[in-house]
Structure 1
Amino acid sequence: MGAMANPVILTVDDDPVVSRAVARDLRRRYGERYRVIRAGSGPEALDALREIKLRGEQVALLLADHRMPEMTGIEFLEAAMDLFPAARRVLLTAYADTDAAIEAINVVDLDHYLLKPWHPPEEKLYPVMDGLLEAWAATPDAALTEIRVVGHRWSAPSFKIRDFLARNLIPYRWLLTDDPEGARLLAAAGASETDVPLVVTAEGKTLIAPSAAELASVVGLAVEPTTDFYDVVVVGGGPAGLGSAVYAASEGLRTVLVERRATGGQAGQSSRIENYLGFPDGVSGAQLTDRARRQALKFGAELLSTREVIGLTEAGGARLLRFGDGTEIAAHTVVLATGVSYRVLDAPGVGDFTGRGVFYGAVSTEAPNCVDQEVYIVGGANSAGQAAVFFSRYAARVHLVVRGPDLTASMSRYLIDQLEQSDRITVHPHTQVVGAAGGDHLERITLCDSRTGEVRTAETSWLFVFIGAEPRTDWLDGVLLRDERGFIITGPDLVTDGKPPSGWSLSRDPYHLETSLPGVFAAGDVRSQSVKRVASAVGEGAMAVSLVHRYLEAQ
């Protein structure tokens, strides 16, 4: 397999003299065991960290000067946490900046701060570095565990495995069956090219075509609840569900979040969300999801993966949720935050290539494979616009296929401006995909202009679909009131002529986010008449918890 590169110590300082001096002192003591890399600014250092991350290497320690013009040391360390959360963090400060350094202990979980000058290093630098590096080496870092996946390039089952790992933020290495290393792994596992996808864990355990639940159990995701009764069960791990889990757990409620696929929902697939409060430079859906997951776990919430809820019943003061395997959990209250799914593109041939050139949502794992190729995106809302901007960094050209006359009715202005400014993005209004064809993968699509009826063929192996959303609420049929599209009706919308819905058992009217079953609340996109935005979903998730408290206090 080849020897792994030494872990990295990265130093950041905009003063070349100081930068060289820090690197010199660190290399003198640690150069045999670590690679000491220096950068002249925060952005330059972040670029270096991204490259290190892509190579699957480790970062043991980050040492950043506080006063830098483009990005302060605190800002850099905060951004670096998303890439290497286990790396030890040190701030280099002048005596006048000690207050900022103390503040950074809370902001970026700072491990230490050093005052300039640090000479002699034997007294002021090395003892601190020794302790931090020993602590890093003694702490297992899940983010550095390498899982290897071997499969075929245009295999839908292989894509499902890679997509599951990526959406759950599990690092992995993708190997084709005809790669030398992929072939060696197949041979070592006693498998052939037909026995794919093959998953090899860091411990050497092999799984052939594992189910999502099997894969979750070996990569460290929780799949079983620790008890059978909770204060609140949150169903769905998108922004609304994560918001509920964070607030419920932080307020002392016994909380479990149940997700059938991956936390983050549709927002978790967004390459960059630029209109979310508090992130002026934007934030990726994966970053936002990771931070929310860590918050929920920090406060004691349980997060269960690959568990699909298929039933909800009332049992006296409890609410029972039934899983697909027949097991159940119970709770005083339930928050339904199951979100929505992209609609399937109903055109001849399209279904034959799902996972083999046709993808639903912004599948970031495929972006590097789209270099210098023609990419087609179907949809006119924000998610499609974000995907177009993202894929334009890789593709020769991105074609945005829109059924309507333009984008103004469904897309935010800031995204429309970005699309118009890009010379790699072409918008095709009044256009629909009406067919797809190919061999072992998608090779061409058929487009139709709805104004003229003109039909044309486009050569492409990449079609990403964002054509509206449908709630996954069929399992609630006969249990909760839903609107004609399947969205869950809540609060005042349940009251007709001053009367609560039929079967309502309480003397009061339903709370704002409460469903037709008392103690069961809906938040986010799955709720009828909700605002389909990340910020509003998080807000509703928090509001649902306040209503849970009101409900519990009244019992």
Structure 2
Amino acid sequence: MTTALPDAGRSTRPSILTVDDDPSVSRAVARDLRRQYGESYRIVRAESGAQALEALREIKLRGEEVAALLADYRMPQMSGIEFLEEAMDLFPVAKRVLLTAYADTDAAIQAINVVDLDHYLLKPWDPPEQKLYPVLDDLLASWTAADRQPVRQVKVIGHRWSARSYEVRDFLARNAVPFRWYELDDTDCEAKRLLAAAGHGEADIPVVVTPEGQPLACPSDAELAARVGLTTTPSTDFYDLIVIGAGPAGLGAAVYGGSEGLRTVLVERLAAGGQAGTSSRIENYLGFPDGVSGEQLTERARRQAQKFNVEMLTTRQVVSLEPRGSARVVRFDDGTELSAHTVILATGVSYRSLQAPGLGELAGRGVYYGASTTEGPNCKDQDVYLVGGANSAGQAAMYFSRHAKRVVLVVRGDSLEHSMSRYLIDQLAGPGNIEVMTCTEVVGGAGDGHLETLTLRHNKTGESTTVPASWLFAFIGAAPRTDWLNGIVARDDNGFVLAGPDLVTEGGLPAGWELERPPYHLETSLPGVFVAGDVRADSVKRVASAVGEGAMAVTLVHRYLERS
């Protein structure tokens, strides 16, 4: 029997991790693994999913590898499937094996779809020479032969208070592109040496160095996307379904469209995830009892969409939509077009800008809209001000409380009760460094090159106070991105898209509607064009409802195609 060996020359042995809540079974698995693989692999044993995840995080921090994960299906608190699903985020190429009893083979079949399971083993596996080692030999040989070289990182050289430097880092982070940040300061730093080697000066920042070593001076999002491997060009010019916007509603529509056999393309102007993608922790989304970050949820949805052959186009700005016979045609800002039988509008909303004097010119220089996880470590031991009283602001406050000395939540209303979920309100009292200032507004800001002070006003007493501040994150209002739809589909007075029953007049059909049937529930005033998520008038502004509407819209797309 030939045992798969890891790459020669590596300084540390890769690990094989086994987790089972039954101590006797756990010891037996580890014993059999050490007997066969102990010379070439480090065998790590855990007795709960949480313990195993902690071990994986330590291995990750040490920069070591994990070759295989063996998890028992029936564990309390966290099942083997749930453990493997979370472990995928830490070691996505590790081979995954589920240990099951004969009665649990249905669970193993489920795991094949949920966690891309590589194999399942029935307990007991005696003798291991026949039932355990041959399976692991094949899996370890496959793992050893795979290309596991560290991902070559993009390098970003810039200044902390450069607005474009922040935008580039935020763009890369939200598109899951690995990068390393080199900050220019007043000392003889590595960033200056890299900048000189790239042939540029500080006037050119940010400078991005691609994994191939090519420097890009202050690149546009489109140029950056093309150079770091993101897809920007469609493979064909006609689809069954075009989904515009890759927030939760758009990702939900793309996954369901692709899974049901529709030729689907997902078009996003910036990065997948929308506002939810920037959330540090979502704790009321079904199926994640311990919470999930917006980044994790977005990445899983993106992988799921790609699994169903959905094309994903980044940095493509849609500027118009029009019917041409039975086709629906979208035009991009570069003049190119894309056609489909149907379109789903899932463009979401954006945060409104603060109109206080002095803040406009400081955007990206201490004043930010939405939360960027890239800025958390930069706020260490400083005060952070957040404006807003909804869930997004509460989630950001919890995130920044782990880094900042003090987090101040500035709320215009007299309480959080009507705007924030109860679980978040309760959590805000936990860290001890979060302060909620009610009945307060930001009425001014100032600074030389970056934010240095804020002026706050109590809206009942009228008293104003100026405080030192370098960080302000705003989460106010919801402005729909629908100006480009003017005259194309019906919208309400605030720009949100009307659909279904909201379009029906006293006569039973919308004005100008050419079909005999009324619009479907999520169908806009242009037949074959549907809307889902926050951009729909009177929608529920929650991640779960947006995903549900995306899925529902695909069902209505099918109905439309069947009757067209």
TM-score (norm 2): 0.89
Q: Which residue of 2 aligns with 1:175?
A: 182
Q: Does 1:378 align with 2:396?
A: no
Among candidates 421, 441, 445, match of residue 436 of structure 1: 445
Report the Cα distance in structure 2 between the residues aligned to 1:10 and 1:358, rounded to whole angstroms: 46
Q: Distance in 2 between matches of 1:216 and 1:59?
A: 30
Matched, 1:62 2:69: yes
The alpha-carbon deviation at position 36 of structure 1 amounts to: 6.0
Taking a change above 3 Å as real, the CA distance of residues 255 and 17 of structure 1, as seen in their structure-2 partners, is: closer
Partner of 2:230: 221
Distance 1:18 1:372 in 2: 48
Q: Counterpart of 1:505?
A: 514
Q: 1:462 aligns with which of 462, 467, 471?
A: 471
Q: Which residue identity lines up with residue 29 of structure 1 in the other structure?
A: E
Shift of 1:311: 0.7
- The residue type paired with residue 208 of structure 2 is V
- Counterparts of 2:224 and 2:345 in 1: how far apart (Å)? 26
**Quick check: 2:15–2:65 contact (8 Å CA) kept in 1?**
no
Going from structure 1 to structure 2, the CA distance change for 1:12 and 1:188 (only over 3 Å counts) comes to: farther
- For the residue of structure 2 that corresponds to 1:227, the secondary structure is coil
Q: CA deviation at 1:65?
A: 5.1
The one-character-per-residue Cα deviations of 1:439-481 (angstroms, maximum 9, x if unpaired) are 3322221111111111112222211110011001011111111
The answer for the alignment partner of 2:3 in structure 1 is none
How far, CA to CA, are the matches of 1:57 and 1:195 in structure 2? 37
The alpha carbon displacement at 1:123 in A equals 7.5
TM-aligned CA deviation for residue 322 of structure 1 = 0.4
Q: Distance in 2 between matches of 1:146 and 1:447?
A: 41
1:475 pairs, out of 480, 484, 493, with: 484
Alignment of 1:379-394 (within 5 A): 379-394=388-403
Of 537, 545, 548, 1:536 maps to 545
CA contact (8 A) 1:7 1:60 kept: no
Q: 1:343 maps to which residue? A: 352
Amino acid at match of 1:9: S
> Is 1:374–1:396's contact at 8 Å kept on the other side of the alignment?
yes
The yes-or-no answer on 1:263 pairing with 2:269 is no
1:243 pairs with 2:260: no
Task: Give the whole-Å Cα distance in 1 for the aligned partners of 2:201 and 2:133.
Answer: 51
Return closer, same or farther for 1:122/1:80 CA change in 2, 3 Å cut-off. Answer: same
Counterpart contact for 1:143–1:171, Cα < 8 Å: no
3-state SS in 1 of match to 2:165: helix
Aligned-pair CA distance for 1:201: 3.0
Deviation at 1:114, TM superposition (A): 5.6
Q: In the alignment, which residue of structure 1 is the partner of 2:161?
A: 154
1:378 touches 1:401 (CA, 8 Å); kept in 2? yes
Whole-Å separation in 2 of the counterparts to 1:148 and 1:10: 32
The offset of 1:510, in angstroms, is 1.5
Per-residue CA deviations over 1:55-114 (Å, capped at 9, x if unaligned) read 766544334455655534433212111233222223456889777656544442222356
Q: 1:186 aligns with which of 190, 195, 199?
A: 195
Amino acid at match of 1:85: P
Aligned AA (2:390): A
> Of the candidates 247, 253, 269, which is equivalent to residue 262 of structure 2?
253
Equivalent residue, structure 2, for 1:11: 17
Residue type of the partner of 2:170? D
Distance 1:51 1:341, change over 3 A: farther
Question: What's the counterpart of residue 288 of structure 1?
Answer: 297
Displacement of 1:192 in angstroms is 3.1
Contact 1:11 1:19 in 2 (8 A): no
Deviation at 1:411, TM superposition (A): 0.9
Paired residues of 2:13 and 2:40 also in contact (CA < 8 A): no
Aligned with 1:110 (options 108, 113, 117): 117
Q: For residues 32-71 of structure 1, what are the structure 2 equivalents within 5 Å?
A: 41-50=48-57, 53=60, 58-64=65-71, 71=78
Distance 1:540 1:118, change over 3 A: closer
**Aligned 8 A contact 1:23 1:38 in 2:** no
Conserved 8 A contact 2:239-2:263: yes
Letter in 2 for 1:274: E
Q: Among 20, 33, 40, which residue is 1:30 paired with? A: 40
Q: List gaps (5 residues or longer) in structure 1.
A: none
Separation of aligned partners in 1, 2:106 and 2:556? 40
Residue 409 of structure 1 aligns with an amino acid whose one-letter code is H
Once the two structures are TM-superposed, the CA of residue 438 in structure 1 deviates from its matched residue by 2.0
Deviation at 1:239, TM superposition (A): 1.0
CA 143–457 in structure 1, closer or farther in 2 if over 3 Å, else same: farther
Change (3 A) 1:5 1:61: farther
Which has the larger displacement, 217-226 or 69-78?
Answer: 69-78
Q: Does 1:315 align with 2:315?
A: no
Q: Using the alignment, how far apart are the partners of 1:54 and 1:170 within structure 2? A: 19
CA pair 205-95 structure 1, distance change in 2 beyond 3 A:
farther
Write out per-residue CA displacement over residues 373-425 of structure 1, whole angstroms, 9 at most, x where no aligned residue.
Answer: 21111000111111111211222221110000001111111111112344221
> Per the alignment, in what secondary structure is the counterpart of residue 90 of structure 1?
strand
Look up the match of 1:412.
421
The equivalent position to 1:203 in structure 2, one of 209, 212, 216, is: 212
Q: Tell me the matched-pair count.
A: 550
- Out of 132, 141, 162, the position equivalent to 2:139 is 132
2:158–2:183 CA contact under 8 A, matched in 1:
yes
Taking the aligned partners of 1:453 and 1:310, their CA distance within structure 2 comes to 43
The one-letter amino acid paired with 2:465 is R
The reply to whether residue 144 of structure 1 matches residue 151 of structure 2 is yes
Task: Name 1:423's counterpart in structure 2.
Answer: 432
How many Å separate the matches in 1 of 2:258 and 2:48? Answer: 38
Q: Is the CA contact 1:25–1:121 (under 8 Å) kept in the aligned structure 2? A: no
Give 1:37 shift. 5.5
The separation in 2 between residues aligned to 1:406 and 1:268, in whole angstroms, is 26
Distance in 1 (alpha carbons) for counterparts of 2:102 and 2:438: 60
Q: Could you give the per-residue CA deviations for residues 316-369 of structure 1, whole angstroms, max 9, x where no partner exists?
A: 111110001000011111110100000001111212222221111121111122
CA contact (8 A) 2:503 2:525 kept: yes
The one-letter code matched in structure 1 to 2:182 is: L
Distance 1:169 1:503 in 2: 44
Assess, with a 3 A threshold, how the Cα gap between structure 1 residues 37 and 185 changes in structure 2: closer, same or farther: farther
Between 206-215 and 236-245, report the one with greater CA deviation.
206-215
Moved more, 407-416 or 137-146: 137-146
Q: Deviations over 1:252-298 (max 9, x none)?
A: 11111100001111111111111112222222111211121112111
> 2:85·2:114 contact (CA, 8 Å) conserved in 1?
yes
